Amino acid sequence: MAEFLLSPPLLLMLGSVVLAATPRNVLPRTVLRALLLALPIYSLWRFWGLEFGDYAQFELFGQTLTLVRIDPLSRIFVVIFHLAALIGTIYSFYVRDNFQPLVGVFYAGSALGVVLAGDLWSLFLFWEVAAVSSALLVWVRRSGRAAGAGLRYLGMQMVSGVLLLAGIVLLRHEVGGAPGWAEFRNLTDFLEDGGLGFSNLAATLIFLAFGLKAAFPLLHSWLIDAYPESTPAGAVFLSAFTTKFAIYALARAFPGQSELIWIGALMTAFPIFFAVIENDLRRVLAYSMTNQLGFMVVGIGIGTELAINGAVAHAFADILFKGLLFMAMGAVLYRVGHVNGSDLGGLYKSMPITTGLCIIGAASISAFPLFSAFATKSLIMSAAVYKEYFWLWLVLLFASAGVFHHAGIKIPFFAFFHHDSGIRCKEAPRSMIVAMVLAAAASMAIGLFPLAGMWFGTANPFYELLPYPVHYEVYTTTHVITQSQLLFFSALAFATLMRTGLYPPELRSVNLDADWLYRRVGLRIWDGVATAFTATHRTGYAVAGRLAAVALETAQRHLGPQGFLGRSWLTASMALWVAVLLAAYLVVFYWRLG
């Protein structure tokens, strides 16, 4: 029993439910907060003591469900999800209400359930719990926009769930119910061994279910739509889990699937154009997240040990630096009330610490030497080079210059520098700063470990967490120089565009994206269908009414007081007619008899 209750997913989920249900007078706020922080710490400590293998198994309807399967791929995600839960919880203490950290820790528990699931049924279960609990984090903003965005978000998450369920059921049908068919494993290999292959419908449905949560192109707009509508803390929790466990699921089930290479390449490239013209700086971060997920998807598609290591390492680093950037913008949102690039500027005077921490996040996402993405994205880039994907490499290089442009420069520049907007506010609350410092320190540590290893021969605890052994030198002369050249000349392009006035000004606006298809076109079609239905209904009603009126009029004419059938007739004529009827009856009777 303890194995179940103390497994990371259930410990966090049940723990947060118990804490939420305990009355306030029994559990003062500070104690509740201490316990909330203790949950992920204790859970990680317990997890660390476990060997690779299967835990928390039980039989249900003839299926063996495995809630906890620890292997090198799941382990690293378990570690980062605990860290993200801890950092997000600390961050969210800026409000007195504990709803956000409670839901956040619960959501983290469901995400841990996804990455630890040993079979497809357990995966599906946590997949859905994560969908619902994360929607609460959008709604918690309690604005009209957040209500709509949360509903659309939940709808898309449910589509992913339905695709996954349909895929699992079809898979059972395709491969038969042999024991172990529902193991969560490399599905490409499994189906090929069964002579079915990736083009099999079951595989396609599961692939799309994962792809929707990993923000594949055209399936990505729920992320852009919903995350920026959440609260400062809500967005920090949201940015950490759903997309990353989708990356994990793709790495588990479809490593080396070549379709992923070009899907990922598209994901790295197209969002940066949108990010340049987007005004809401947290929405810029959402685009930037799609772009970073693209690098991970490419890595999974290449599928070599180096590439998978790169994808997983980059997911780990992204949770920290994207979390840090969301936290910095969340601090601005909290202090100023909005994060519109058009109306901000000069905030470094009021929020110097947040500015500094935001710049560390910006340097990390841009893959500057010494910062985290330099030590993670390089693995993916090199894997592309080793496999001689020239055009892919060019796209990734362009996307790297672009990410520096919109996330590395645009975010800190328009929020904290640019022209002085005249906004004067307080520095971020202490809980926000503590959380940001933790994320910044971790981001720098990831970037510095390889350098320390090179100079002092120290071990790299981060690379040791990766699923495959790392034989890769990050800090080579070529690498440091070429990356710096790329980034500094990208910065020069930005500065030149700003000074020449060619840079498009930040404008209060929205830009159409794929969600336009269902928020506008879909709505218009729905309106059209509704109008047609109303018109049909109205016409039908009118016709039926007219027919009824005619019938009534006819009846009235014949049956009314003046009508032929309504008159009072003489008894004699009645008797005559009865006699005629009887005579006719007799004639017919004898005729039939004859």
Residue 147 in tokens = 């209500």
Closer Cβ to other proteins, 220 or 252, answer by number: 220
- What single letter denotes the amino acid at residue 173? H
Pair 223, 243: CB distance under 8 Å? yes
Q: Hey, which residues does 58 pair with through a beta bridge?
A: 65
Residue 21 in tokens = 């249900």
DSSP secondary structure string, 9-56?
HHHHHHHHHHHHHS-TTTS-HHHHHHHHHHHHHHHHHHHHTPPSEEEE
Cβ at position 347, least distance to other proteins in Å: 9
Cβ at position 48, least distance to other proteins in Å: 39
Which of 318, 310, 326 has its CA nearest to residue 442?
318
Closer Cβ to other proteins, 500 or 568, answer by number: 500
Cβ at position 470, least distance to other proteins in Å: 20
Q: What does the buried/exposed string (b/e) look like for 374-390 if buried means 16 or more CB atoms within 10 Å of the residue's CB?
A: bbbbbbbbbbbeeeebe
Cβ at position 409, least distance to other proteins in Å: 9
Closer Cβ to other proteins, 213 or 282, answer by number: 282
DSSP secondary structure string, 49-64?
TPPSEEEEEEEETTEE
SS3 call for 217:
coil
Backbone angles phi, psi at 31, to 5 degrees: -65, -45
Cβ at position 88, least distance to other proteins in Å: 24
Q: HSE on the CB side for 100, CA within 13 Å?
A: 27
Pair 81, 47: CB distance under 8 Å? no
Cβ at position 115, least distance to other proteins in Å: 34
Closer Cβ to other proteins, 252 or 335, answer by number: 335
Closer Cβ to other proteins, 162 or 385, answer by number: 385
Q: Hey, which residues does 444 pair with through a beta bridge?
A: none
Q: HSE on the CB side for 257, CA within 13 Å?
A: 26
> How far is 543 from 97, CA to CA, in rounded Å?
60
For other proteins, the binding residues (CB under 8 A) are 145, 272-274, 276-277, 335-337, 348-350, 385-386, 388, 390, 393-394, 397-398, 401-402, 404-405, 417, 420-425, 477-478, 481-497, 499, 502-504, 507-513, 519-520, 523, 527
Closer Cβ to other proteins, 148 or 194, answer by number: 148
Closer Cβ to other proteins, 25 or 477, answer by number: 477
Closer Cβ to other proteins, 157 or 291, answer by number: 291
Q: Give CA 133 to chain center in angstroms.
A: 12
Cβ at position 263, least distance to other proteins in Å: 21
> How far is 527 from 202, CA to CA, in rounded Å?
34
Cβ at position 487, least distance to other proteins in Å: 7
> How far is 357 from 362, CA to CA, in rounded Å?
9
Closer Cβ to other proteins, 126 or 494, answer by number: 494
Cβ at position 446, least distance to other proteins in Å: 23
Cβ at position 351, least distance to other proteins in Å: 10
Closer Cβ to other proteins, 94 or 241, answer by number: 94
Which of 504, 276, 269 has its CA nearest to residue 391?
269
Cβ partners under 8 Å of residue 23, min gap 6: none
